Every structure is written in structure tokens, then in C-alpha cells.
């Protein structure tokens, strides 16, 4: 089997309402799909969606890397192309290329992508509700998530005054009392401020807090983790503190992995396996990605296994999408029955 053609499709998907985080406010999710076709009509798809915080220059670099990769993908065996992934000089583009090649390969082999590494991978995964920033509207989103039987809800904190956020969080917990709360501080606080916030919300049903420290150190994270009953989670600090040190020193109980930022399906799976081997919880997540990007990350989450809820239920924030969003029910995401990703772009995005 050889790749007969490669197609690229840019997209700009409007959100129903702004997605506010510490580094950027997202109103339009931009990315580029790559489709790798063989001579028998099969197409494998991947999604290159740079983080919103990367700005215009970051998007331009990732898209240029994907366009360069499209040249060496033409008329090459997918296995040979997978061996050349290091030539793709962008993590987001590399994730897209690898996903497209694996999707194509698994379609040809007639297996679901999640079973490429682990034959016993499940057909659905637990996910947390994406509740967005902690504002007045978040209360209604939390109630809706509770009604939809989500177990966990993830909330962006550290965007306002700590005392006001603690008050809103308490109101939210009263109105959606069965929902366990995952908080993402996006490096908002000093160690003292984080500790004070944790004390203010100590009686609330908190499942974990992601990236609490503005200037994270292993020692600071370890001190906080030793003082609280919930998981402290590391995300972007993985790149600064280093996986080896994080795994060996036990500074946090949870690792949050964005495959697009890490740069691939296999690389992310290896990190997840290493984290699990030292007893860390692993959560796969994305940033309001398209249905192709979310679908790929969900296949990866199923392949990794484990009981953790993943951060992939973001499709409801998009007013438009490139493909049908995965089915959600009672806090779980169903994975398609088909081969490879089991989904493909529709409408204008699918045209040759």
C-alpha cells in the first residue's frame, strides 16, 4: 500500500461563546486537516490545531510544517512515512501526520485505531464536562452537566480574585452537588495564594487542580500535593520540569497530556505508560479541537486504558464542526465502530 495523494483543508470553526483561559480567549478554533489517500479509495485523516496561545506566528509555523510534510507523504508506504515523523518540524503537524497515517493503515487492516497498540481497548471512555471559565454562566453549565449525568466537571479558575472565585465555586457546588470538580488554574498563583485558595474550598468536592503555580518547581508542587486530598495535576510544566524528574520525584499525582503538544500518538502513549508505571493518573485532553482531533485523542485515551475521565467533551462549545461530534451519554464518550478513526470530514471538508 502506498499513499496516492494528500489533501489539506484549512478550517475556522466559530464557538457558541468565548472560551476564556489565562493566556487567550478563544472565539474561533483554527486548524488544518490532512487527508492521506491510497490507491483503493481509503483516506486517513489527521488534525493540526495549534494551541490558541501560539498566536499567528505559531499557527503559520505549524501549517507550513504540515504543507512541507505533504510533499514527502506522496507515493510513499505509510510504514516508511511513520519512520520519518521526526522530519516534521512541528508537534501539532507531527500529531496530524501520524494520526492520518495510522488512520489509513488501520482502515486497510480493518481494525479500529485504538486497537493498533492494545487489542483489548474499550469502545467508550469516561470524560469530564468542559464547563469553561468560573463565571456566573458557569453555574448553569454545571447544572446542565449534572442533569446529563456527568461525574466530573472541569472549570478554569485563576482568572479573577481568589475570594470571588471561591464564593462562586461554593455556589456552584450547592447547585450541582453531585458533580466532582476539576479545576485548571493555568499557573495563576504563588504557592501561598494556592494554599489559601485550597483552604477556602477545602470542603468542596474537588477531584484535582491542574497547574496551580505561576512558577512551578518540583518542591513546590510536592508540598502542595502533600497538603491536599485531591490530585495536583501537571500539564505544560511537563516540558519545563522534565518527564524523568516528574516521574522519579512524585511531585504530583496526575499527568495531563495533550497529544498535539507532545507531537504524536505513539509518543503520548509512551509517556502515559511511563506515568502509569509509577502510579500517576493519566488524563488525555485537547483544547476545543475539531471532531477529527477529538476523535483521534479519544482513540488514544482508549488505547492507553485506565479509569480516569478524560478532557475531551468540548464539542458542544463549537457552533460548527468538520465532522459529526462523538456521542456522549452519562459522562462517557462512545467511540465509532468503524475502522481507523471511524469518522471522516463531511461537507466541503471532504471534497477531493
Active site residues: 156, 258
Question: Pick from 321, 317, 289: which is nearest to 13 by CA?
Answer: 321
What is the rounded distance in angstroms from the CA atom of residue 19 to the CA atom of residue 100?
28
Note the Cα 124 to chain centre separation in Å.
16
Question: Pick from 289, 211, 240: which is nearest to 52 by CA?
Answer: 289
What is the rounded distance in angstroms from the CA atom of residue 186 to the CA atom of residue 210?
7
Q: Is 322 exposed, middle or buried (0-12, 13-18, 19+ CB in 10 A)?
A: buried
Please tell me whether residue 135 adopts helix, strand or coil conformation. coil
Question: Pick from 52, 27, 31: which is nearest to 96 by CA?
Answer: 31
HSE, side-chain direction, 13 A CA sphere, residue 172: 35
3-state helix, strand, coil in the chain (%, to 5): 40, 25, 30
**Quick check: 318 and 289 in contact, CB under 8 A?**
no
Phi and psi, residue 280, nearest 5°: -85, 145
Ramachandran assignment for 186, one of left (phi > 0), alpha (psi -120 to 50 degrees), beta (any other): left
What is the rounded distance in angstroms from the CA atom of residue 252 to the CA atom of residue 255?
8
What is the rounded distance in angstroms from the CA atom of residue 299 to the CA atom of residue 303?
6
Amino acid at each position: 500500500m502506498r499513499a496516492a495523494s494528500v489533501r489539506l483543508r484549512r478550517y475556522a470553526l466559530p464557538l457558541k461563546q468565548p472560551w476564556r483561559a489565562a493566556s487567550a480567549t478563544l472565539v474561533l478554533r483554527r486548524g488544518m486537516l490532512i487527508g492521506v489517500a491510497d490507491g483503493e479509495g481509503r483516506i486517513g485523516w489527521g488534525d493540526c490545531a495549534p494551541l490558541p496561545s501560539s498566536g499567528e506566528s505559531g499557527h503559520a509555523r505549524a501549517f507550513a510544517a504540515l504543507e512541507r510534510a505533504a510533499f514527502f507523504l506522496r507515493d510513499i508506504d505509510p510504514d516508511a512515512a511513520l519512520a520519518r515523523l521526526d522530519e516534521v518540524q512541528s508537534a501539532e503537524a507531527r500529531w496530524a501526520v501520524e494520526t492520518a497515517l495510522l488512520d489509513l493503515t488501520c482502515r486497510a487492516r480493518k481494525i479500529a485505531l485504538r486497537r493498533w497498540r492494545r487489542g483489548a481497548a474499550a469502545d467508550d471512555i469516561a470524560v469530564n464536562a468542559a464547563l469553561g471559565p468560573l463565571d456566573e454562566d458557569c453555574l448553569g453549565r454545571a447544572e446542565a452537566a449534572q442533569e446529563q449525568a456527568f461525574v466530573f466537571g472541569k472549570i478554569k479558575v485563576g482568572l479573577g480574585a481568589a475570594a470571588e472565585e471561591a464564593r462562586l465555586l461554593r455556589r456552584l457546588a450547592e447547585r450541582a452537588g453531585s458533580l466532582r470538580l476539576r479545576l485548571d488554574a493555568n499557573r495563576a498563583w504563588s504557592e501561598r495564594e494556592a494554599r489559601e485558595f485550597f483552604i477556602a474550598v477545602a470542603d468542596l468536592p474537588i477531584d484535582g487542580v491542574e497547574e496551580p503555580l505561576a512558577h512551578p518547581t518540583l518542591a513546590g508542587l510536592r508540598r502542595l500535593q502533600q497538603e491536599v486530598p485531591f490530585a495536583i495535576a501537571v500539564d505544560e510544566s511537563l516540558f519545563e520540569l522534565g518527564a524523568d524528574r516528574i516521574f522519579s520525584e512524585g511531585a504530583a499525582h496526575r499527568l495531563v497530556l495533550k497529544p498535539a503538544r507532545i507531537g504524536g500518538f505513539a509518543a503520548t502513549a509512551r509517556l502515559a505508560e511511563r506515568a502509569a508505571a509509577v502510579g500517576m493518573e493519566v488524563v488525555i485532553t485537547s483544547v476545543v479541537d475539531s471532531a477529527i482531533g477529538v476523535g483521534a485523542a479519544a482513540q488514544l485515551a482508549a488505547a492507553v486504558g485506565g479509569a480516569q475521565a478524560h478532557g475531551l467533551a468540548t464539542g458542544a462549545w463549537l457552533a460548527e464542526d468538520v465532522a459529526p461530534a462523538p456521542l456522549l451519554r452519562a459522562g462517557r464518550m462512545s467511540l465509532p465502530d468503524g475502522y481507523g478513526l471511524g469518522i471522516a470530514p463531511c461537507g466541503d471538508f471532504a471534497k477531493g
